[in-house]
Structure 1
Amino acid sequence: MDIDAGRGARPFDLLIIGGGINGVGIARDAAGRGLKVLLVEQDDLASHTSSASTKLIHGGLRYLEYYEFRLVRESLIERERLLAIAPHIIHPLEFVLPFRKGGRPAWMVRLGLFLYDHLGGRETLPGSAGVRLAGTARGAGLQPDVIKGFTYSDCRVDDARLVILNAMDAAARGTDIRTRTRLTAGRRDGDAWTATLEDRVTGGASTVRARHIVNAAGPWVGKMLNAIEGAYTERPPRLVKGSHIIVPRMFAGEHAFILQNPDGRIVFAIPYERDFTLVGTTDVAVDGDAALAPITDEEVAYLCDSVNRWFAKAIRPADVVWRYWGVRSLYDDGSDSASAVTRDYVMKLGTNEDAPQLLSIFGGKLTTYRKLAEHALEKLAPFVTMKRGAWTDQEPLPGGDIPGADFAAFLASVRRRWPFLPEMTAERMARAYGTRVARIIGDAGSLADLGEDVGGGLSEREVAYLVAEEFARTAEDILWRRSKLGLHVPPDTAQRLTARLAREIAHA
């Protein structure tokens, strides 16, 4: 067994378990404050819940019904901040809420939208409004009895890339990030923890020492508490599965729909990857291993029925081109239904001031990850020396330093600088990499200079960048998390990409 940090070496200040949005957000913030950080993730970064969201940065309009005013306010404030620091992967999105009698009364919707407009100090996005839908572009595709509705604005996001960008910045600030690495055991050892790690690629084991552990393992947060000797006792989290389907494009326009169901839940229908519509999500309680909870036929039927109540052209399960699901680890607040369980985050910290600390994260959402990280470090501040305070609210994420946060102008500049790029490839790369696109294309004067096209405009040079800079190791990492090219490329692309990756990794 290798020993990475024995008693003769300085222990890590933080050992973070989990490479989802909460884990990488805490790693980035902590590294920027001068802490020595190690992050371990049992699979790829964002390989579970953090890449299985509805792809939104939003306040959570429906949370108002559960009186989650603090969460909504924080989310709305964070929506503005994240839009400013990552304008390449986060973009404004108008939502249309069609109205018909039998759902929430109009006065309730108006009150909710009024609160939504004013709770978070809205700065850049348009406010809500009542609108006529019949005979308008916003109402195209809806059933003819849907005459009116409401509009409001939130943002869309590439969720997996939000994780990757935080991980990249954390690594640039000194964080040791180890993917395909699992914590198998931990124990208190003097003034630090000794943890045993398993390399899931080689099967090798190593031990590390860390003054404190942050348990950000998402659906496995309870399992990690059981693996760490001397961890405090905590009741298991509530595991709730959210499932989504992708179908061929259902309606024209770049607006999204938020649809009310008879059961009181809402379902989104969102333009996705140019040719598709994303429909989701469900809320289903999960028992047992979170990894063994795939989307069911019943959930697919539920999502189809949810949109078919509103759209003139029905969709069927046979129309689904891709389905995905994620399991959220929520704090057990005693709510009867999965939909009512709080989406706010809860942190539990060991209370023995003389012992190394263990901080566990329950809940959280993409929108509030940055603020969650700040709160996590506030919890740990009495036990570790930091060189500075909160800083991530102003510092752009990698590629986000776009002048004036004007993405349209930036995209135009990319097309002018590299006119040989196909229009769709230029837009995809600008959205994915922002200003870092120059690190990939560089001085290339033609497509041939970028090497072989592995599929869908993915060049050899881009693959090399993803391996060297973005921790990509498999075709799935690239086709479904670093991008969504898996929806667009020929069937043999994964095989060709796997062969290319073997060569890149061998030379990395």
Structure 2
Amino acid sequence: MSEQIYDLAVIGGGINGAGIARDAAGRGAHVILLERGDLARGTSSASTKLIHGGLRYLEHYEFALVRESLIERERLWTIAPHIIWPLRFILPHQKGIRPAWLVRLGLFLYDHIGGRKLLPATRTVNLKNAPAGKPLRPEFVKAFEYSDCWVDDARLVVLNAMDAGEHGADIRTLSEVTHLERRDGLWHIEISGQAPVRARAVANAAGPAVLDLLARTTGHDRKTGETIRLVRGSHIVVRKMFDTPQAYFCQNSDGRIFFAIPYEDDFTLIGTTDADHKGSLDDIHATPEEIDYICQSAGAYFRQPITAADVIYSFAGVRPLVDDGSGKPETASRGYHFELDVGEGDIAPILSVFGGKITTYRHLAESAVDKLAVHLPVLKGQSWTLREPLPGGNFPINGAADLAATLERDFGFLPPSLVHRWVRSYGTRTRTMLSNATLLSDLGTDFGHDLYAAEVDYLIDHEWAQSADDILWRRSKLGLRFSNAATQKLEKYVKVRLQRRHI
């Protein structure tokens, strides 16, 4: 048993776990985060990539959740302007579903209940005279344009973990927790293939596996409490369907919605679905039926028809929603709840997180740490995460172009396309990768598509990347462009690099 005792063990390296670790570490706690795979390996890298209030949640009267999300929307944009940026959405009016005045009323509410200050307001659009109407079928003549934000979801997780690490947290990926036991006023945590660790408190942020982790816990008597509903959301990626900068928000005749979003410059991301997930959490993928459903949904709105043959890539994630008894999976609440259990003597608490969404992760983490602080005196002060930018985000919210121009001036050998991608991924931390480079060749091996060894080394050394998949699908989205041969070349390099680090 390790002699070291942590104040807080966070189990789960998704957005909620990384957010809790960041908040607690910044308040002075000695934190360890344990993730059985890679950071953002599951649900947190399989979202629709949006920081949004959730316009459709207004239909389900979830006004408090929408308000909380809208307030967080601009806050998150402020602390992470490199990976979060504004996006305008075109909502075509579909006759027969609901009257235009009702849609406009909902958008008026959406504009005003969350304290919007920076994002532009909703406006009405005549699609016959607007470029945004060209990709749509001719029967759509009226639309509404409103604001939300785009986010690189997996990078948001990684940056929270990085900031936690820079505040002293011990971040461990590939660390599966096999058993927890409350004993002698502490949590004794067993980790597959590693020495056990001890902690004064536990935050169970295992997402879809939140109840599975509790089932592996001794000393925690859980007879009643929250249950979860596992809802699978699937997405597809196709070649770029439109040149307009806006995304599209559409509603099907069955009441479900989907987004079509500009993605990684050359692609369009379309989704999502809502289906109860009954299978393994290690085998989550978009089913052929879901892919066909998304293609048919898009075909009802866009001039360009798409079929399963046009799908370049598909992905799915399981959302661990609070089971509120909703009949349809799409109507289940996206809110969150905590379950706190404390041992005798008001010590060794375990806080389990149920539900949540990316947009509310920071506030969720703040609330979770506040609850733990009552039982863990080492946690000092109030949350600080509202004020401090995430790594690389210390520049003005509209300053990405200026940052890119400065980097292009200082490093004239860099291709503009590379600077564009790096600014949107690493922000001001881009200079860390460049180090003393004065020529493009100083960046080392070119693996293709502007991925150089300098970036790969940075991701291994600073962002816990352990494989080509970690780099191509979570630290970046370059997997959309890489061939199998190029991926294998990168995998070989990563393995050699990791071996050298351990010598």
* Equivalent position of 1:323 in the other structure: 314
2:474: which partner in 1? 481
58, 67, 72: which one aligns with 2:52: 58
Alignment of 1:361 onto 2:350: no
TM-score, scaled to structure 2: 0.97
Query: Is the Cα contact below 8 Å between 1:350 and 1:359 reproduced in 2?
Result: yes
Match for residue 433 of structure 1? 426
Query: Which amino acid in structure 1 is aligned with residue 67 of structure 2?
Result: R
The equivalent of 1:201 in structure 2 is: none
Which of 500, 504, 507 is matched with 2:497 structurally? 504
| Counterpart secondary structure, 1:290 | coil
Q: Aligned to 1:383, what secondary structure does the other structure show?
A: coil
Give CA-to-partner distance per residue, 1:72-103, whole Å, 9 cap, x none.
11111111111111000001000000013112
Kindly indicate whether the alpha-carbon contact (under 8 Å) linking 2:89 and 2:147 is maintained by their aligned counterparts in 1.
yes
Rounded to whole Å, the distance in 2 between the matches of 1:321 and 1:403 is 35
Please give the per-residue CA displacement for 1:272-301, whole angstroms capped at 9, x wherever unaligned.
Answer: 011110000000001243223321111001
In the alignment, the residues of structure 1 paired with residue 396 and residue 103 of structure 2 have an alpha-carbon distance, to the nearest angstrom, of 37
TM value normalised by structure 1: 0.96
Runs of 4+ in 1 over 6 A off after TM superposition: none
Asked if 1:25 corresponds to 2:16, the answer is no
Q: Secondary structure at the match of 1:82?
A: helix
Distance between the aligned counterparts of 1:320 and 1:165, measured in 2? 30
> Are positions 1:178 and 2:184 aligned together?
no
**3-state SS of paired residue (2:479):** helix
For 2:348, the aligned partner's letter is P
Change (3 A) 1:404 1:50: closer
Aligned in 2, Cα 1:32/1:453: closer, same or farther, shift over 3 Å?
same
Structure 1 counterpart of 2:111, one-letter code: D
The alignment status of 1:218 with 2:216, answered yes or no, reads no
Deviation at 1:383, TM superposition (A): 0.4
Please point out which of 413, 416, 422 is paired with 1:423.
416
Aligned to 1:387: 380
What does residue 336 of structure 2 align with?
Answer: 345
Counting only pairs closer than 5 Å after superposition, residues 56-455 of structure 1 correspond to structure 2 as 56-198=50-192, 204-231=193-220, 232-233=222-223, 234=225, 236-352=227-343, 354=345, 355-385=347-377, 386-403=379-396, 405-455=398-448
Contact kept, 8 Å, 2:342 with 2:348, in 1: the verdict is no
Secondary structure of the residue aligned to 1:279 is strand
SS of 1:219's partner is: helix
2:485 alignment partner in structure 1: 492
User: How far apart, CA to CA, are the structure 2 residues paired with 1:347 and 1:127?
Assistant: 34
Q: Alpha-carbon deviations, 1:390-420, whole Å to 9, x = none? A: 1000100000001465112112212222221
Deviations 1:105-137 (A, max 9, x none): 212211110110001110100001111011321
Q: State percent identity of aligned pairs.
A: 52
Residue 265 of structure 1, CA deviation: 1.1
Shift of residue 347, structure 1, vs aligned partner: 0.7
Distance of 2:359 and 2:142 partners within structure 1: 29
**Partner AA of 2:454 in structure 1:** R
Residue identity opposite 1:448 in structure 2 = S
For residues 89 and 151 of structure 2, what CA distance do their matches in structure 1 show? 14
In structure 2, how many angstroms separate the alpha carbons of the residues matched to 1:367 and 1:89?
Answer: 13
Task: Tell me, in whole angstroms, the C-alpha distance in 2 between the residues paired with 1:274 and 1:80.
Answer: 24
CA drift at 1:236: 3.6
Contact 1:455 1:490 survives alignment (8 Å): no
Q: 1:441 to 1:205 in 2, by over 3 A?
A: closer
- The more displaced of 484-493 and 111-120 is 484-493
Decide whether the 8 Å contact of 1:140 with 1:252 is kept in 2.
no
Q: Give 3-state SS (helix, strand or coil) of 2:351's partner.
A: strand
Distance 2:279 2:138 in 1: 44
1:11-30 deviation digits (Å, cap 9, x = unpaired): 21111110000000000000
Taking a change above 3 Å as real, the CA distance of residues 40 and 253 of structure 1, as seen in their structure-2 partners, is: same
Q: Give 1:195 deviation, angstroms.
A: 1.1
Matches within 5 A, 1:35-46: 35-46=29-40
Task: Tell me: CA distance 1:19–1:131, structure 2 relative to 1, closer, same or farther (3 Å).
Answer: same
What is the distance in 2 between the residues matched to 1:213 and 1:325?
A: 29
Instruction: Give the C-alpha shift of residue 352 in structure 1.
Output: 4.7
| 8 Å contact from structure 2 (residues 78, 396) kept in 1 | no
CA contact (8 A) 1:84 1:405 kept: no
1:384 is aligned with what amino acid?
A: L
The letter for the 1-side match of 2:437 is A
Distance in 2 between the 1:278 and 1:104 partners?
A: 26
Task: Name the counterpart of 1:15.
Answer: 9
**C-alpha distance 404-186 of structure 1, shift in aligned 2 (>3 A):** closer
Helix, strand or coil for the counterpart of 2:91?
Answer: strand
SS at match of 2:97: coil
- The code of the aligned residue for 1:40 comes to L
**Structure 1 CA distance, aligned partners of 2:248 and 2:409?**
34
Aligned 8 A contact 2:258 2:272 in 1: yes
Greater shift, 433-442 or 400-409, is seen at 400-409
Q: Structure 2 stretches of 5 or more lacking a match?
A: none
Counterpart secondary structure, 1:181:
coil
**Aligned residue pairs, count:** 497
Question: 2:495 and 2:279 mapped to 1: Cα distance?
Answer: 35
The alpha carbon displacement at 1:387 in A equals: 2.3
Contact kept in structure 2, 1:272 and 1:278, CA below 8 Å: yes
Judging changes above 3 Å, is the alpha-carbon distance between structure 1 residues 490 and 288 closer, same or farther for their aligned structure 2 residues? Answer: closer
Query: CA shift at 1:443, angstroms?
Result: 2.7
Code of the residue aligned with 1:332 in structure 2: it is D
C-alpha contact 2:226 2:339 (8 A) present in aligned 1: no
Gaps of 5+ in 1: 199-203
Is the Cα–Cα contact under 8 Å of residues 44 and 180 in structure 1 kept in the other structure? yes
Cα distance change on mapping 1:486 and 1:293 into 2, 3 Å = closer
Shift of 1:353: 5.7
Looking at structure 1, the residues matched to 16 and 391 of structure 2 have their Cα atoms a distance apart, in angstroms, of 17
Do the aligned residues in 1 keep the contact of 2:183 with 2:219 (CA within 8 Å)? Answer: no
Which moved further from structure 2: 386-395 or 368-377? 386-395
Distance in structure 1 (CA, Å) of the matches to 2:398 and 2:124: 29
